[in-house]
Amino acid sequence: MMTQKSLSINVGGRLMTFETPKVMAILNVTPDSFYAGSRNFDSDRIGAHVGKIIAEGADIIDIGGYSTRPGAPEVTAEEEYNRLARGLEIIRRKDPDAVVSVDTFRADVARRCVEEWNVQIINDISGGDMDPEMGATVADLRVAYILMHTRGTPQNMQQLTDYRDVTAEVIEHLARRIYSLRELGVCDIIADPGFGFAKTLEQNYTILREFNQFKRLGVPVLTALSRKSMIYKALHTSPDEALAGTVALDTVALLNGADLIRVHDVRPAVETIKLLSLLNASKC
C-alpha cells in the first residue's frame, strides 16, 4: 500500500488519518440498487445491516437514498431525504458517534442531513455538476466532501465515454474541481475517479492499472469497485457473484495507493487491509 502518511481529513472535529486505509461501508436505503443484496428499505433490515457493518469494523457508513446505477429512475428530493432520515435515525440510535457519509448530489438534501443528523461527510457522485450550490453548501457546513468524477447523469452517462487519455483527463477534471473547492473554502476533500460512471469496461481497468497517478492530487483517494459491472460483466456472472472479484480489485487499488475502499462487504475489506498491512510490515 502506497498511502501518504501526511494525508488526513477533519470529520466532525476528529482527525481521520490514512496511514492505514479506511473502509467505507455502503448502506443503501433504496428499493432498486444494482446489487439486490444491498437493498435495505424497511427499518428492521436497515437496523440489522447497520449493526452488522459496525460490528465488522467499518470506519465510515455511507448512506444513500437514490440509486445511481446506469438508467436509474429519478427520485424527488423529498423522497430521497425521507429515505435517508429513516436510515440516519437508526444509525444514530445504534452509534451516535459513527462517522457517516451521505451519498447525495443535492445541496439541500446534504444540508438537512448535516444539520439534523450530524453527518460529517458528503459523497457527491456528480462532483457538483448536478447542483451548482453544492460547493458553497459544503463550505458553509464545514464538512468533508467526496468529489467524484463522472459525466452527464445516471440516465445518460454511459453514452459519454469519449476520452483521448482517460486517466489523464479524469485527473485533470478532479484537479480543477479541487482548486475551485479550495477557493470556496472547502478544506477536507477526498477524490474518487468514479469507476463505472461515464467509463467503458476497458477504461475502468486502465484507471485501475494507473491508479497510483491519482496520488498527484494531494488529497486522499477513494476507490468504489464493489460488485460493479466491470467485475461481473468481465466474468459473465452477476453482482451476487462478484465478491471475490471485488476483493481482488480492491487489493490492486490498495497496492496502488487507495486511501479508502467503499464496499458492500465490510469484513472481507477489513481483512484485506489487515493482511496487506502485514505484508508491508514484513518488508522492514
CB contact at 8 A, 190 and 260: yes
CA-CA-CA-CA torsion sign (239, 74, 138, 172): positive
Instruction: Supply 106's cell numbers.
Output: 443535492
Residue 106 to residue 118: CA distance in whole angstroms = 17
Q: Which residues contact 251 (CB under 8 A, 6 or more apart)?
A: 272, 276
Between CA 122 and CA 257 the distance in angstroms is 22
User: CA 24, 61, 48 angle in degrees (round to 5)?
Assistant: 120
CA distance 95 to 111: 21
Beta bridge partners of 263: 25
CA 109 to chain centre: 17
DSSP 145: E
Q: How far is Cα of residue 268 from the mean position of the Cα atoms in its chain?
A: 17
Q: Which of 250, 200, 201, 257 is nearest to 230 (CA)?
A: 201
Smallest Cα–Cα separation from 61: which of 28, 89, 99, 104? 99
Catalytic residue positions, numbered: 228, 262
> Any idea of the CA torsion for 78, 60, 69, 214, to the nearest 10 degrees?
130
